[in-house]
Structures are given as structure tokens and as C-alpha cells.
Structure 1
């Protein structure tokens, strides 16, 4: 097969499938078909409902605890991504351990692994791209959840105050944006894990991409959780 640098045409095809799947799953979660809203869209409405209840809830300790737990979740993934990126950078500096692992897998499975260190570095860089994307999304989500907490603190305690509903609606929209960033970060982690299959070969990457995409779409559109969320009960 003709090689384009260290990458073959099949590698380029697998990479294109990966990037396209990553983009489309993110787009579909935010812009689902009209007749089948995604979990992301459904939860956005619940976040608006939350802020409507927040206006009249006294005391508001429960709401503060929820925001704090959401920020802790983003902080956890920020730390996780930093550790993973550090390990990936170390592998780029010395990919020998990864090449040895690839050789061991090849010996056991007879799969056509390529031990070319330049090729391994390229594959690790793609994994790092997704991890870096996830890191930036989690950092931004953490910050926006902080904005939401401040907006919630600015909601008047008097439900009769006309400013209360407006401030609560602002907090809801900021909360939704923070959640979108968090979901995007999780999605990038999923695809970073799928990209590791590229170490076995381009066909393995395509297979892993299809699997990861299927998992993402199932959880957004066909999961048991979605069915439970969709049932809003008596109106």
C-alpha cells in the first residue's frame, strides 16, 4: 500500500472517520431531530425548571450543594486530563514502552501492528488532541458553573420581585452552557479512549470509532435514562 509519510491512505481514512464522528455526535446532541430530543436537550429544560423552583425555595442550601457538586465534577476531570496529558507527552518523548506493548500485542494476536516510532508519536498526538480539547472544555465548564453560582446568589429572596424571574432565567441559561461544556469534555474523553485502538491499526480505529459513536448516540437517544427523563409526569 502506498504510504503518505508514516501514514497510509487507510490511516487517513480512519482519522477522517474519527474526526467526522466526533463532530457529528456533538452536533446531534445539541441539534437533535425534532421528533426525538436528546438527553442534552431534555436536561436543559429541567435546568430551567430548577431555576424556577429556586426562586421560591427557602432556604437555598440544597441548590448551593448541587452547584458545588457540579463544580467538583469538572475539577475532578480537569485533574484527570492533566495527568493523562502528562503521560501522553512523556510517551512522545520516549515511545519505546508503547512500541514494546504494541509488539507484545502483535505477538499474541498476529495483528499487523506498526512499530514505527514516528507513526506511534502521531497516534499519541491525536489522543492528546482529544484530551486537550476535553481539558479546555472542563476548565471552561468549571468557570461557567461559577458564573451560574454568582447569578443564583443575585436572585432576590422575594418571589414577588420582578427581577427574581429574570435573574433565575439568566442563571438557567448559564447553567445550560456550563453543562454543554462538560458534556463536550466527556465526549472528547470517549473518543480519546477510542483513538488508542489506532495503535493496533486503522481498521481497529474505524471499529473503535463506530463503537464509541454508537455508545454516545445510544445514551443520548435510546437509553433507559432518557426514557425516564422524558416522562415529565402530570402537567
Structure 2
């Protein structure tokens, strides 16, 4: 059986499910990063606090506290990037041993060629790889933020102090945006694994991923806390 014949095992519902997954990933990312003013996302709310952090940083002596927080943020990106790299390696190993999955499918009376399993695993690896690249970029941007923070004077009379602090804040926000995109990539990678159970499994897993992300960004308790007015 050649490759074309094997790919015919994919049904129109498979194509619809994959399009639904990718469209949800792209549209949801846009909605979260550029939400309507009537319903701001948690990510955007935290961005406002990041700007405030950099302004407060200009008068803090010493800046050990700020350096510690930034170091913690960079460690988080490094950890998740390493985890994604391990997942990519595991996924490639699964593809190289896709015959075992085919054997399991045969035992379950599912006549599914090896290439079908490989394509389904590759879809999940696409999201994991995207997440890995996002985390790497986020780590680098947090490093840029640290450099700008270090160049910002503690002297309030310095005319460059506040502009540089604001610049550091924008770099911090950009790094956080890449980090959040990486996290969404992991969510959708897990959702993509639902395809192993067929197109119906992918549709259900994608919908569940959308619901979880929307709730955490727009209807979570943490968002309610951030929305409260400071006393």
C-alpha cells in the first residue's frame, strides 16, 4: 500500500477536526492577547502590574528582590523549554516505533496503517515544537529586560531613569507574551493527542482545551482578584 492509499484512511471529519484545532489555537491566542475592553484577559491584567513593577524598581535599593523575581521567571522558561525538548525526543521515538502502535490497533481490530499514527503524533509535536521556540525566545527577552533594568539609575532626578524603566516593562511584557503562547502550545499539544482516539476524540479534546483556556483567562478567581480595586 503506497502513501497515497494510506492517507485515504483520513476522513473529511479528520480534516475538519484538524482545521478546528489549528483555528482555535490561532484565534484563541489573538483573543487572549488583544481582548475586548469590556472583558480584559488575565494576561493583559498582569501586564499592567509588570509595568508598575518596573516603575517601582527605579527607587528600590538594593534591587535584589527584582533580580530574584526575574531569575525565577527565567528559570520557569528554561524548565519548560527542557520539558518540551524531552517531549519532542519522546515523540520522535514514538514515530520511529509507530509499528507498535499499529500492532496495538490490530489487536483492537483497527485496520490503521503506520503512517496514520505518525501524522497524528506529528500534529502534537508541531505544537510542542512551537512551545519550545516560544519558551526559548521568552528566556532571551527576560535576559534583555534584566540588562535594561541594570542600566536604569536609582536616581529619580536622572531623566533617563523612568523611560528606561518603562522600556524594561515592555520587554518584560513581551517576554511574558511569548511565555504564555508557549503554555497555550502545550495545552493544544495535549488536545492534539485526542486525535489518537479518532476525529471525534480530537474535536472533544480541542473543545475542552478551549473551555479551560477561556475560563482561566476570562472567568477565573485569579482574574477576579486582579480586577479588584486597590484599597
TM-score by length of 2: 0.93
Contact residue 9 and residue 112 of structure 2 kept, 8 A = no
The 5 Å alignment of 1:19-34 reads 19-34=22-37
Task: Give the whole-Å Cα distance in 2 for the aligned partners of 1:192 and 1:33.
Answer: 27
What does residue 47 of structure 1 align with?
Answer: 50
Matched, 1:141 2:144: no
Task: Give the whole-Å Cα distance in 2 for the aligned partners of 1:157 and 1:114.
Answer: 69
Contact residue 57 and residue 165 of structure 2 kept, 8 A = yes
Task: Give the whole-Å Cα distance in 2 for the aligned partners of 1:147 and 1:209.
Answer: 35
CA pair 48-15 structure 1, distance change in 2 beyond 3 A: same
Cα distance, 1:115 vs. partner? 3.1
Where structure 1 has 5 or more consecutive residues not aligned to the other structure, the ranges are 108-112
Task: Give the whole-Å Cα distance in 2 for the aligned partners of 1:123 and 1:146.
Answer: 36
The answer to which of 90-99 and 71-80 deviates more is 90-99
What does residue 230 of structure 1 align with?
Answer: 227
What does residue 166 of structure 1 align with?
Answer: 163
Cα distance, 1:211 vs. partner? 0.2
What does residue 61 of structure 1 align with?
Answer: 64
Provide the aligned length of Structure 1 versus Structure 2: 227
What does residue 38 of structure 1 align with?
Answer: 41
Cα distance, 1:121 vs. partner? 0.4
Cα distance, 1:33 vs. partner? 1.4
Contact residue 130 and residue 182 of structure 2 kept, 8 A = yes
Matched, 1:8 2:8: no
CA pair 122-176 structure 1, distance change in 2 beyond 3 A: same
Matched, 1:204 2:201: yes
Where structure 2 has 5 or more consecutive residues not aligned to the other structure, the ranges are 1-5
Contact residue 7 and residue 115 of structure 2 kept, 8 A = no
Contact residue 102 and residue 200 of structure 1 kept, 8 A = no
Task: Give the whole-Å Cα distance in 2 for the aligned partners of 1:190 and 1:12.
Answer: 20
The answer to which of 151-160 and 62-71 deviates more is 151-160
CA pair 29-102 structure 1, distance change in 2 beyond 3 A: farther
What does residue 74 of structure 1 align with?
Answer: 77
Any idea what SS the aligned residue of 1:162 has?
coil
Task: Give the whole-Å Cα distance in 2 for the aligned partners of 1:182 and 1:32.
Answer: 18
CA RMSD of aligned residues (A): 1.8
What does residue 110 of structure 1 align with?
Answer: none
Task: Give the whole-Å Cα distance in 1 for the aligned partners of 2:111 and 2:71.
Answer: 46
